[in-house]
Structure formats: C-alpha cells, structure tokens
Structure 1
Amino acid sequence: MSGASGNGSGAPNGNGASGGGTSGNGTSGNGASSNGASGNGAGPLSKGPAGGGKPMAVARRGPAAMAGPGRFMSGGPIERSMDFKGSLKRLLGLMRPDRLLLYVVLAVGTVSVALAVTGPRILGHATDLIFAGVIGKQLSGTTKDQALDSLRAHGKGGVADMLSGIDFTPGKGMDFGAIGSVLLLALGVYLVASLFSVVQMRVATTVINRTAYRLRQDVEAKLSRLPLSYFDQQPRGEVLSRATNDIDNIGTTMQQTMGQLINSLLTIVGVLAMMFWISWLLALVALITVPVTLLVATRVGKRAQPQFVQQWKTTGQLNAHIEEMYTGHSLVKVFGRAEESAETFRQENEALYDTGFKAQFISGTIQPMMMFIGNLNYVLVAVVGGLRVASGALSIGDVQAFVQYSRQFSQPLTQVASMANLIQSGVASAERVFELLDAEEQSKEPKAPARPAELTGRVALEDVSFRYDPDQPLIDGLSLAVQPGQTVAIVGPTGAGKTTLVNLLMRFYEVSGGRITLDGTDVAAMSREELRSSIGMVLQDTWLFGGTIAENIGYGTEDATRADIEAAARAAHADRFIRTLPDGYDTVIDDEGTGVSAGEKQLITIARAFLSNPVILVLDEATSSVDTRTEVLIQRAMAKLSHGRTSFVIAHRLSTIRDADVILVMESGAIVEQGTHDELLSAGGAYARLYEAQFAQAVAEVD
C-alpha cells in the first residue's frame, strides 16, 4: 500500500480522520479526532463522516439525554439476556482449539477429586479403630459375640446392637500401629490430591488465557472489518468497553469458575457414589434437598441475569461519556458545560451503582439460601445416621464419613450456586462481545479484483443513489464525469451530501444504486487497498499519532527515505517550521499534536499526502481553522500538490475555489448547478446566493 491517511475518513463519532496521505484499507478509523462542539456546547461533535444529513443512531450527548435522576431506578423495563444458554454454549465453544488440554484438566481433576473423596472413608476407618480399641478394653470375654451376649444378659440390648457394627476384640486396647498407618495413608491421599489439583489449575489457567487471547484477536480483527457506519452509530467509549472491560470480565469469570466448577461437579458425582456405597438410605435422605436447591438457584438466577446485562450496558454508557468528556475537555470548559457534564456523570454513575447493586444483591442471596438448605441436610443426615448407628446397621466411622460426605455434597452445590453471579456477569459480557463480533461487516473483497489498465484519475458517477436510512434518501440519481487532472470543487449547505460523495468514492460507504468508476473500472470491483492507495485525503481535522514528525509524515509510505520525507515537507512549506523545533524532524509529538499549531499540523498532513503521491486528491475543508497567513501557505502547498492530479475540493469559503475547473453546487444530495466560478455567478442561482451571503457576512464583519 502506498500510503494511508489513517484507515478511513472518520472514526467513531469523530469528525473525520485527518488525511494527508492515501487512505488505508480499513474503515475502523485509526485516525480520528473528536474535536468540534455540538450546537449547544454539550461536548464533542457527533458528526458522521458524511458531513451532514445523516441521522445518528446514538443520539445521547450531554446531559439533555438524561430523563432525570435515577432514570434506571424508576422501575422501567430492564433489558433481558438475549440467550443465556446459547451465549454460554458459544463461550465454552471458544475453548474448542484447546480441547486436548481440557481433557487433561478433566482427567487430572477426576483423579484429584477421586482421591479427595476417599479421604473421609479412610478417616472413618481410623475412627472405627479408635472406638474399637476403647470399647474392647472396657469389655470382658473371649470373643465379640460373648461380650455382646453378656451385655444383653444385663439388659443392655440397645448398646449391644450398637456395638454389633464395631469390629473390636474384648480386652484389647487401641492398635496405634494400625491407626498410624491409616492416618499416614489419609495424609498421602490428601497430598497427592492437592498436587493433582495444582496441576489442574495450571492447565486450566493456560486454557483460559489462550481463550481470552484469541477472543481479543477476534475482536481486533472484527474492528478492522466493520464498516464506517458501525462506528458512526456507536460511541467510542462503548466500543472500547466491549473490547476491554467485557473481555477482561469474561477472562476473570472463566478464571474463577472453570476449575472450581469442574471440581464441584466431579465432587458431587464422587461423593454421591460414596454415599450410596456406605448407605443407600442415608444417600436418599441427603438427596431430598437437591430439588429445593435447584429450584432456588434457577429462580434467583433468572431474576439476576437481566440485572447483569443492564449493569454492563450501563458500564459501556458511562465509559462512553467519560471518554467523550476527556477528549473534549477543553471544549467542555470553553462552553461552560462542566457542571452539566458532571451531572450527567453523576446520573450515569448512579445508574451503574443501582444496577450493580441489584445484580450483586439478588445473585448474592443464593449462597445464604444454599447454606440454610445445606444445614437442613446436615440435620437430617445426623438424625437418621444416629438411628442407624443405634440399630447397629452402621458403625460410628461410617456415619462420621457420611456426615463429611454430606458436607462435601452440599458444599459444591453451594459453590456452584455462589458462582452464579460470576457466571451471569461473564455471560452478559460475552453477549456484548458476541454482539460486536456478529455485527454486519463491510462487503467482502472480490475474489479476482479488477484493476484499471492505467491510473489517470478519470472518475465517473453513473446514476448514483445513496441513503443512510432506507426511508430517507440522501443522494438520488447523481451523475458526474471528471476528467484526469481536473479540479472539481463541491459546495453547498451543511447536510447537502458533499462529504458523502467523497466517502462513496473511497468506498467507506457502498452506493445504494448506480456505480462509480475509476478509469472505466467499477470501484466496487476493485480491492479497497488498490482503490484507496490511489487517493490522498487532506481533511479539516488533522490526525497525528505519538511519534516523531518524520514518522508522521512517512506514515503509509513504507519505503520512504529521510530524503523523501524532507522533500515532501519542503513541497508542503512545512520544512521551515519543522527545522525550528528542538529536534527538527526527530521532534516527538503526541497524538494531540502538542507543541505545534493547528496550521502546522495541517502542513504535516499535506506533506504526508505529497509523499504518498496519489492519483486523486481529496481536500475537505483543509484551511477552515487556520489563520490567513497559514491558509495562504496551505493553499500554495495544495495547489502544488493538486497540479496534474484529479482533485476534489470541498469548501465553505468560496474564495478558495474560484480557480476550480468545475464547481458543483449540491443541495439535498443532488447537483443543482455546475460550471466555473464566473459562469455560476452570471447564472444568479444557488451558487450566486451562497457567494453573496458570504460577501455580505464579510462586509458585516468589517463594519
């Protein structure tokens, strides 16, 4: 690609990217400046690259959009989750490339849980050994049966029944060797289980971070494929929130829930198997509370999920407001809107507090409910287990193990329920990211792109129609032929469609009807890179990035040498002021162009356009915000740049386009007049009225 003006004519809610070079291949608007103020001074101007006439889908700017304090607290409808199950399934599907590692996580987790589940059974055996030693030492007789018969003979049949489940030897105390061996076995089992658990978490962390990495890659790639219209309809802060906050929240959710969720589910299965092995009756008693648990988790989850969706939506709105107020800070101060901006922030922050509180509180009620249900389960197991021990059907060690299993059974259920808020929050963020990933992309490049036999700059518009809104036509049946080397000036009132015409030529937007050709080749059949590398743009809003001035001039022209950069700066009348800077061409500036004036920034962008050497040049209000002397320098530079090139000049100052070969006067998306300056003045039509209005204004200003 021979050069770039920042990948687009505009950026999200900006006023157009600064050109000064050929446009790149994307439309996500890497170059943008949200400068300008709205009519009421509420903040940055939300003017789409079409210049005017386009209804913005996101009209929220400034405090006027707020209905009043606590508008989200008024009990209005809450946006519900689009598809919780579908979004969760899609989120889990993102881990498919690492499914082998997931199998490792599952296998290692299974071993870890299996070992951990056997621990209580082993400890229960140790308890039986201790109890058998205590009982055996206190009873007399030669065999267990004789000791039990002696108890029954003395009217202690209940005690005899209870001791019948104990394997003791009368007269023999505790076997500390056997007890020690059992305890060492339990210790070894728990240590190995912990080791496998660490391995599981390490592998799970790898899978999760790889998934988040790929998701960020997908979002970044998607942003470069989205049409300019998407960014016109979305505040930049909202897009940034989806690409940063929501993806971070997804990663955090998966990190905190995936390993624990797998272990909890495996624990439930393992513990349930051990419980049925010890006593099927006690197992059935423990299962009585499961339906209640599921009912509580489901009911509370359904109420909490819409609140999480609204929470992250409100987060995006708050981020959008903060981003706009930060980038337009000076304008907010100049127009005295600081208090209203702060009030808007207060209201949106209040809305975020409200939705966040509701989401966390509703979801947070699950855990105490689950703990209460778990305690009921514990009581039932203790009562029934005690009766079974008294009848001799179970040993004390078995009941001890079962009580532990009962706790282990209710604990993962509680953990799963307590993770509901994290899961719901993560899925809500995932829905927002998927909504971005599913947004309609710009049309695909042709498989076999056409190329003009020779690029001369002949442009033709053949019965072109275009509309932002299907019900509101903007341009209808526009035809125009521009010969190579001609300078075409486009004038008209705001919203007439002047910049829209250029955006159609650049294919930032696709025509609704008709076609546009470059040297006889339909631009829709060309690759965007091929088309845009032939066009240079110098716009009103300059776009610079953090780096040296030489790097800014050379942006988009990869093979440019230092000599080429300096030659382009001299041609643009920028060399003189650059050399007066502390480090000359190596002076580092930030993306706001701190240290250079508005006119000097404009000269840098013109030098960028010189260096790219385009066939077609687009100049859009490039001198409207500079002083008279700088305007003369810029006009000289642009005259030199446009010499021998097909040029499209969009201007409000009619004095800057007197020498144009053809002047097009546009109103409501149609060309109402065309001709030279003198011809249009003689006709006494729309152009003459515009000229007279500007002349009268100039006289009034002088008076």
Structure 2
Amino acid sequence: MTESSPHTTSSFAALGRLLKYARGYRRQIIAATTCSIINKLFDIAPEILIGIAIDVVVNKEESFVAGLGFETAQEQITILAVLTFFIWAGESIFEYLFQILWRNLAQRLQSDLRQDAYEHAQKLDMSFFEARSSGQLVATMNDDVNQLERFLDGGANAMIQVVVTVVAVGAVFFVLSPLIALLAFTPIPLIIWGAFYFQRKAGPLYADVREKVGDLSSRLANNLGGIATIKSFTAENREAERLKASSEAYVDANRRAIRISSAFIPVIRMAILAGFLATFTVGGMMALEGSLNVGAYGVLVFLTQRLLWPLTGLAEVIDLFERAMASTRRILDLLAEPVHVRDDSGQTLEQPVKGEVTFEGVSFRYPSSGAGIDDISVAIPAGNTLALVGATGSGKSTLIKLLLRFYDPTGGQIRIDGQPIQSVSLKSLREAIGLVSQDVYLFEGSIRDNLAYGSPGASDEQIIEAAKTAEAWSFIEALPEGLATAVGERGVRLSGGQRQRLSLARALLKDPPILVLDEATSAVDNETEAAIQRSLKRIGHNRTVIMIAHRLSTIVDADTIAVVAGGRILESGRHEELLENNGPYSAQWRVQTGQA
C-alpha cells in the first residue's frame, strides 16, 4: 500500500474521498447532520430567553414580549418558562437522535470499510502481499478503521455544531448590534487561521503516527508468530528491546503531534478573551448610555460565551479529525490498489476437466528481483505426472504460481484441456487444482474444519476416507478428540509430518483433476515421506499430478521429469532416460545416492 504524502493529499481531500466512498449513506448523513443542526439551534436558544427574561424584569409592560400580546410581567415569565421547557425537551430529543444516527453510521461505515478493504485485499496479486508486512495491513483494517469510527462517533457532530454556532449566533449579533458583532467576531479569523495552521502542521505528524502504528503491529505479529524461534535462540531480551524501540518511536511520533495540537488551545483562549472583553465592555457602556437594551446586552454577553468558548474544543476536534483523515488515506489507498490479475471472464473450464496442462513458451519476471522463467514449454497429458527438479530459485515454484494465476505470464500461454487459463474465471480454474505446499497453513479450529476447508459440505465419511488415503487417519483416530481436535494457531499443536498429511488430505477431499505438490515432502521425516509416497501412488491414477521435489527418490516413477535451471528447462524425460543422458539430472542423482 502506498502512503500518500500529507503534503500533497490534504485532510480535506481525504474527507472528500471518504464522502465519495460513503455516497450510499447519503440519507443517513443528511439526517444526522440535520439533527446536529437542530440540536445546536435549540442549545443556544436558552441564552436568548435569558436576555428576554432580563428585558421582562427591567421593562415589564414595555418589554419585547409585551409587544407579542402578553401584558403582565407574570404572563411574560410564564410563557418564557413554557418555551424554555419545550426548547430543552427539543434539545434533548435531537441530541438523542443525532447520537443514535452518528453512532449507527459510524458502526455501519467502519464495518463496511473493513469488509470492503478485506475483500479487495483478497483480490490483490500475490506480489502485493510479498512486498508488504501483514502487520501493516492488519493495522489498516483494524486500528485505522477504528480511528475513523471514533471521529464519526463525536468529532463529525462537533465540527458541524461549531459551524452552526458561528452562523446562528452571528446572525443574532448583527440583528441586535452590528458594532458589537464586529468586535465579538474579530477573534474568529484568528481562530480559523490558527485551526488551519495547526491542521497543516499536524497533518504530516499524524500520518507518521499511523505509520508507526503499522510498524508496531507488524513487530508484534512477527514476534508472536516466531515465538518458538525467539525462545530457541534465547533472544527474548533482544526482541523486547526491539519492540520497545518500535513502541518508543510510536510514542515520539504522538508526542510531536500532541505538542502541536496542545499549543492551539492557549492561543485560542487569548483570542476568545479579547472578543469576550470587547462585548462585555463596549456593550456595557452602550447599555449604560441607553443605546442598547439591557436584555439585548444580556443576550450578547451570554451568546459571546456560547460563540467563543466552544471554539476552545476546536483543537480536540481537529486533533481527532487529523487522526481520522490520516487513517482514511491509508484505508482508501488500500481500496485503490490496482488488481493486475483480472477475473473478468464469466466462462468456466469445460466439464468434466480432464487435466491436460500445457505451458507454451511461457515467460515471467518478478518486478522486484528480476528473477523468473524464460520461454518454457512443456505438455502434461491428462492423468500423467510431471516432476520438476532443480536448485532453489530456478523457477519451479514460479510455474505453479502462474498455473494458479497468482501472477500472469509476460509471454506465452498456459492451457488446461486446450483452454487458455486467462479465458476462464479464477474460481473455475482454482477449483480444478489442489495445492499441497511445503509451508502448510492450517486455520485455527478443529481437524475437521481444516480438512473440509475446500469442501465445506463434506460428510464425516468423506473426510475420513480422504484422511485414510493421505495416511493421516491413523494419527487422527489416536487423538482423544479425533476430528474435533483443535489444531491451534497455524496448526502448532501438530507435528510437521501430521500437518503435511492433513494438507494432502484436504486437497484430496476437494478431489481436483489436477494435484500440485510443491515440495510437499521436503520438510518431513522418512516415515511421513514413505506414507505420502504410498498415498501418491494411489491417488495419481486418473489425475494429473505436478510435483516439485528436491529428493529425487520421490519422483522416479513420474511420467516426465523436467530439470529446471536459470528459468529454463535443461532436459526432460523419464528417470531411466535422464540417467542414460548423463546430464544434470544424472549428476544430481549420483550425489543423492552417494555414487558421486
């Protein structure tokens, strides 16, 4: 995910992007905004009523209310009391409504943002995940989304009500006394300038805060995932220090942001004091001279506080706003990440899939490293087994990634049963392929859940049959809870060999016409390897199998063995033919069998 520079992408631009994303919530936003506005209008009304009450007490039958038909001062006070009741009731009702509307909107929007970000991330190319840490992505989908939720819970309403206060109180001021209005509003340009000044200063700092949060999350995720390695190397103290460094970097980033936002309040308070003193002093002099009604003077004094003092909270609102917009940029940047491996085809592989796989002059290079393959052509008839051998980095796994369309080739074509794989949907393609990789990933849950991951509707009988075929049932059956046994996070409660057999059983339960084994026996013991080999002899019939292996003893029965080096196929054939060729395969065989 590319972090946009806060110097080029302003917080208000981020707000505009957010509003564009949230256009489906337009009615909720309008309703919540309307309730916030009405609530604030009700909120400032009591100050006006206090001024009118003072006018009633001072002028009695000649007061403003008397001109509305209420002759006695008692009637006037009574009607003001009734109005006050309804105003307070209205304020309470609309406060309840805007709280409900804004909070529900925050919950709905944060949930949809997180879901959309996750679903979009699932569509991104493998290169995206290989270039970024999982901790950064988790921080974006979790902490950044929560930061936006916190702003919508209270900050959005606060910003709206500040604007409403300035406009509504300003209107009353100019009606009662344009001169005092000008004096009271004199500090507001300074306050607004200060708000934008601090916003510009705080924006980059809060972007840095969000970056440090991602770094800290990544450090925690990596350390907890590698706790066994940390313990085995007695590196606890070293890792604790590295985590402390990341945590301190986050604290320092926050400290810089807090220093800027905290400086805002004292500056604004002095500007507010100047405006209040102007109203208090000049208005008092005008009231003494008789050029200003005493009740109006009371209204102006009370409203000056109502106008200016809430602006001290602007610093906190801007602080919340900046944090939220920094998070919003990261979320929306993730949503804007382009998907290069497109899934635009609605076609499916012709059924039943026979499993014939053809690589025709396929070339590919990884953008980051430049490694890859060049002009590889190989045909695997349906039901045959192809074994790929070669040194690490020769391009074997790249062929598998291209077959699964984790990447698209830069040249050439891959076909299944004669159909170009780019012409069929990813779902149709990947449903036809079962993958068993060296790095087995088991999800937290039971053995049953993991075996049925690719076939959620499978019965226990089908699960057990697949486990028996993969020679995994014997150890599953011996466990106290059998299929209900919890595997732990990433399968930590099972041995490597057990995880590998479960991975094979999971692929078999899917019953794919094409089975891919990416070094599935490289990290297991001899007993597990022998068990997997027996399984492969049973399951290889009527199924296309593509194997990547370092141990040549596991592939001697393959129909075709291809030796890959430097991104090219050096030689191919059956085991006996390659030994007779006395080439790279024969040399490797002699080394592994101790004949060299």
TM-score range, shorter chain: over 0.9
The question of 1:87 aligning with 2:14 is answered yes
Letter of the 2:462 counterpart: D
Q: How does 1:84-233 map to 2 (within 5 A)?
A: 84-132=11-59, 178-179=76-77, 181-233=79-131
Alpha-carbon shift at residue 595 of structure 1 (Å): 4.1
Q: What is the CA distance between 1:81 and its match in structure 2?
A: 6.1
Pair 1:569–1:454, CA change in 2 (3 A): closer
SS in 1 for 2:545: strand
* Residues 321, 182 of structure 1: alpha-carbon distance in 2 compared, 3 angstrom cutoff: same
DSSP 3-state at the match of 2:269 = helix
SS of corresponding position for 2:490: coil
> CA 1:686–1:194 in structure 2 vs 1: closer, same or farther (change >3 Å)?
same
Superposed CA RMSD: 2.6
Partner SS for 1:332 = helix
Q: Any conservation in 2 of the 1:126–1:183 contact (CA below 8 Å)?
A: no
User: 1:600 & 1:592 partners in 2: Cα distance?
Assistant: 12
In the alignment, does 2:554 pair up with 1:656?
A: yes
For residues 591 and 664 of structure 1, what CA distance do their matches in structure 2 show?
37
**How far is 1:395 from its partner?**
2.4
TM superposition shift of 1:184 = 4.9
Give TM-score scaled by structure 1 length.
0.79
Contact 1:457 1:616 in 2 (8 A): yes
Instruction: Indicate the residue corresponding to 2:133 in structure 1.
Output: 235
Q: Which residue of 2 aligns with 1:26?
A: none
Aligned to 1:269: 167
**Is 1:612 the equivalent of 2:510?**
yes
- Are the aligned partners of 2:114 and 2:141 in contact in 1 as well (CA < 8 Å)? yes
Counterpart amino acid of 1:228?
Answer: M
1:352 CA drift (Å): 0.7
- 1:256-308 C-alpha deviation (Å, 9 max, x unpaired): 21122222211111101111111011001112112211221111111111010
Tell me which residue corresponds to 1:312: 210
1:245 aligns to what?
Answer: 143
**Cα distance per residue 1:635-659 (max 9 Å; x no partner):** 1112222233221111111222222
The alignment's TM-score, normalised by the length of structure 2, stands at 0.92
Q: Can you list the C-alpha shifts for 1:494-514, whole angstroms capped at 9, x where unaligned?
A: 111111111101111111111
Specify whether residues 167 and 112 from structure 1 end up closer, same or farther in structure 2 by C-alpha distance, changes over 3 A only. closer
- Could you say which structure has the larger radius of gyration? 1
SS in 1 for 2:115: helix
Aligned residue in 2 for 1:18: none
Q: C-alpha offsets along residues 345-369 of structure 1, whole Å, 9 cap, x if unaligned? A: 1221111111111112212222222
Aligned residue type for 1:128 = D
Is the contact made by 1:488 and 1:648 (CA closer than 8 Å) also made in structure 2?
A: yes
State the alpha-carbon separation in 1 of the partners of residues 64 and 396 from structure 2: 96
Residue 597 of structure 1, aligned match among 495, 500, 504: 495
Deviation at 1:249, TM superposition (A): 0.6
CA distance in 1, matches of 2:257, 2:8: 13
Distance 1:79 1:497 in 2: 40
Q: 1:511 aligns with which of 393, 409, 431?
A: 409
Find the counterpart in structure 1 of residue 69 from structure 2: none
For residue 525 of structure 1, what is the aligned residue in structure 2?
A: 423
CA contact (8 A) 1:364 1:421 kept: no
Deviates more, 1:421-430 or 1:565-574: 565-574
Q: Find the counterpart in structure 1 of residue 527 from structure 2.
A: 629
Contact kept in structure 2, 1:81 and 1:428, CA below 8 Å: no
Q: Which amino acid aligns with 2:238?
A: E
Please give the residue correspondences for 1:113-512 in structure 2 after superposition, counting only pairs within 5 Å.
113-132=40-59, 178-179=76-77, 181-449=79-347, 451-452=349-350, 454-469=352-367, 472=370, 474-512=372-410
Q: CA separation in 1, counterparts of 2:510 and 2:98?
A: 54
SS in 2 for 1:479: strand
Change in Cα spacing, 1:479 to 1:249, as seen in structure 2 (3 Å) is same
Which secondary structure state, in structure 2, belongs to the residue aligned with residue 663 of structure 1? Answer: strand
CA distance in 1 between counterparts of 2:65 and 2:49 reads 15
Matched letter for residue 43 of structure 2: A
The separation in 2 between residues aligned to 1:167 and 1:230, in whole angstroms, is 70
> Could you tell me which amino acid in structure 1 is paired with residue 33 of structure 2?
L
Structure 2 letter corresponding to 1:441: V
**For residue 561 of structure 1, what is the aligned residue in structure 2?**
459
Letter in 1 for 2:445: G
On the 8 A contact 2:561/2:572 being kept in 1, the answer is yes
Correspondence for 2:478 among 568, 580, 603: 580
Q: CA deviation at 1:470?
A: 7.6
Report the CA distance shift for 1:304/1:567 in structure 2 as closer, same or farther (over 3 A).
same
SS in 2 for 1:592: helix
Shift in Å, 1:131? 4.0
Q: Is the 8 A contact 2:362 2:377 kept in 1?
A: yes
- Residue 434 of structure 2: which of 520, 529, 536 is its match? 536
Counterpart residue type for residue 30 of structure 2: Y
In the alignment, residue 152 of structure 2 is paired with which amino acid?
M
1:671 aligned onto 2:563:
no
Hey, which of these two has a bigger chunk of helix by percent? 2
